[in-house]
Amino acid sequence: MPAPTVLMGAVAYDPKVVTIWEGFRAWLRGRGLDFDFVLYSHYERQVEDLVAGRIDAAWNSPLAWLRAERLATANGTAVRALTMRDTDQDLTSIVVVRAESPVRQLADLAGQAVAVGAVDSPQATLIPLGHLAAAGVTVDVRRFDVGVGLHGDHIGGERDAARALMAGEVDAACMIDANHLAFVQEGTLPPEGTRIVAQTARYDHCNMTVRAPESDGVRLFGTLLLGMSYADPQVRPLLDLEGLTAWRDGRTTGYDALAEAVDASGFYSPDGRVTATDYRP
Amino acid sequence: MSAAPVAEVDLGDLGFGRGAHLLVQRALAGLPPGGRLAVSGRDPALRVHLPAWCRGRGHRVEWPDRGEAGELVAVVVRGSADDDRWFGAERAGPAQPSALSSRPPARWGLGARGALLEAGGPEARFDLDDRDLVWADIAPHLYAQAAARQWDPQTAVPWDDQFALPADVEAAVVQVMTYLVENEQAALVVPARFVGRIHPHFREVVQLLAVQMADEARHMEVFSRRALLRGTELGTSSAGGRQSLFTLVAESDFALASFLLSVLGEGSFVDLLAFLHENAPDPVTRRICWLAMQDERRHVVFGMAHLEHQARLDPLLRDRLRAAIHRRHDALVDTAGLNADVFDALVVLAAGGWHPDDVSAGFDRVQALQHAMDQGRQRRLVRLGFRPDEAAALSTLHTRNFM
Q: What pLDDT is recorded for position B174?
A: 98
Give the 3-state secondary structure of residue A96: strand
Give the 3-state secondary structure of residue A174: strand
From the list B16, B44, B85, which residue is nearest A236 (CB)?
A: B85
Run of H or E including A115: strand A113-116
Q: What pLDDT is recorded for position B62?
A: 94
Q: What pLDDT is recorded for position B68?
A: 62
Domains of chain B: 7-84 (3.30.110.40), 88-125 (no CATH), 131-396 (1.10.620.20)
Residue A84 burial (CB < 10 Å; 0-12/13-18/19+)? buried
Rg, chain A, Cα only: 19
Q: What is the pLDDT along chain B (403 residues), one digit of tens a residue?
A: 557 778 999 999 999 999 999 999 999 999 999 999 999 999 999 999 999 999 999 999 999 886 665 788 899 999 999 999 999 999 999 999 989 999 999 999 999 999 999 999 899 889 999 999 999 999 999 999 999 999 999 999 999 999 999 999 999 999 999 999 999 999 999 999 999 999 999 999 999 999 999 999 999 999 999 999 999 999 999 998 899 899 999 999 999 999 999 888 999 999 999 999 999 999 999 999 999 999 999 999 999 998 999 999 998 999 999 999 999 998 888 877 778 899 999 999 999 889 999 999 999 999 999 999 999 999 999 999 999 999 999 999 988 888 7
Q: What pLDDT is recorded for position A40?
A: 98
- Distance of alpha carbon B31 from alpha carbon B27, whole angstroms: 7
- Distance of alpha carbon A141 from alpha carbon A159, whole angstroms: 16
Q: Where are the beta strands (DSSP E) in B36-182?
A: 36-40, 60-62, 72-77, 90-91, 116-117
Total structural domains within chain A: 2
Q: Would you say residue A141 has pLDDT above 60?
A: yes
Q: Please answer yes or no on whether B17 and A181 come within 8 Å at the CB atom.
A: yes
A272 domain residue, yes or no:
no
Question: How many angstroms separate the CA of residue A27 from the nearest CA in chain B?
Answer: 14
Q: Are A252 and A64 in contact (CB under 8 A)?
A: no
Q: Please answer yes or no on whether A180 and B15 come within 8 Å at the CB atom.
A: no
Measured between CB atoms, does B22 come within 8 Å of chain A? no
**Helices B267-279/B283-313 angle, 10° precision:** 160
A274 domain residue, yes or no:
no
Q: Would you say residue A145 has pLDDT above 90?
A: yes
- A116 with A244, same domain? no
Residues 23-82 of B with CB under 8 A from A: 44-45, 47-49, 51-53, 55-58, 61, 79-81
pLDDT in tens, A50-62: 999 999 999 999 9
- A62 with A160, same domain? no
Per DSSP, helices labelled H in chain A are 16-29, 43-51, 62-74, 127-134, 156-166, 177-186, 216-227, 236-242, 256-265
- A52 with A69, same domain? yes
Q: What pLDDT is recorded for position B335?
A: 78
- A34 with A9, same domain? yes
Among chain B residues, CA nearest to A235: B120
- Distance of alpha carbon A52 from alpha carbon A59, whole angstroms: 16
A271 domain residue, yes or no:
no
Supply the range of the domain harboring residue A55. Answer: 5-88+205-265
- A154 with A119, same domain? yes
Q: Please answer yes or no on whether A180 and B57 come within 8 Å at the CB atom.
A: no
Residue A147 sits in a domain whose CATH number is 3.40.190.10
A270 domain residue, yes or no:
no
Q: Are B128 and B257 in contact (CB under 8 A)?
A: no
Q: What is the arithmetic mean of pLDDT over A158-172?
A: 97
Mutate which of A27, A86, A241 to disrupt the B interface (most B C-beta within 10 Å)? Answer: A86
Burial B191-217 (b: 16+ CB within 10 A, else e): beebbeebbbbbbbbbbbbbbbbebbe
- A114 with A129, same domain? yes
On the question of a cis peptide bond just before residue B104, with omega within 30 degrees of 0, the verdict is no
Run of H or E including B26: helix B20-29
- A32 with A97, same domain? no
Backbone φ and ψ for B36, nearest 5 degrees, come out as: -115, 135
Q: What is the DSSP letter of A172?
A: E
Q: What pLDDT is recorded for position B186?
A: 95
- A173 with A126, same domain? yes
From chain B, pick out residues whose CB is under 8 angstroms from the CB of A196: 44-45, 48
A195 domain residue, yes or no:
yes
Give the 3-state secondary structure of residue B343: helix
From the list B17, B80, B120, which residue is nearest A191 (CB)?
A: B17
Does the predicted interface ipTM exceed a cut of 0.90?
yes
- Distance of alpha carbon A10 from alpha carbon A45, whole angstroms: 11
- Distance of alpha carbon A215 from alpha carbon A223, whole angstroms: 13
Q: What pLDDT is recorded for position B258?
A: 92
- A141 with A45, same domain? no
- A76 with A98, same domain? no
From chain A, pick out residues whose CB is under 8 angstroms from the CB of B17: 181, 184-185, 191-192
Q: What pLDDT is recorded for position B334?
A: 80
Q: What pLDDT is recorded for position B2?
A: 57
pLDDT in tens, B244-294: 899 999 999 999 999 999 888 999 999 999 999 999 999 999 999 999 999
Q: What pLDDT is recorded for position B161?
A: 96
Give the 3-state secondary structure of residue B62: strand
* Amino acid occupying residue B329: H
User: In chain A, what percentage of residues exceed pLDDT 70?
Assistant: 100
A244 domain residue, yes or no:
yes
Final residue belonging to a domain, choices A156, A172, A199: A199
Please choose, from the candidates B54, B108, B62, the residue with its C-alpha nearest in 3D space to the C-alpha of residue B81.
B54
Q: What is the DSSP letter of B44?
A: T
From chain A, pick out residues whose CB is under 8 angstroms from the CB of B48: 92, 94, 177, 180-181, 196, 199
Question: How many angstroms separate the CA of residue B68 from the nearest CA in chain A?
Answer: 20
- A115 with A195, same domain? yes
Question: How many angstroms separate the CA of residue A17 from the nearest CA in chain B?
Answer: 18
- A81 with A166, same domain? no
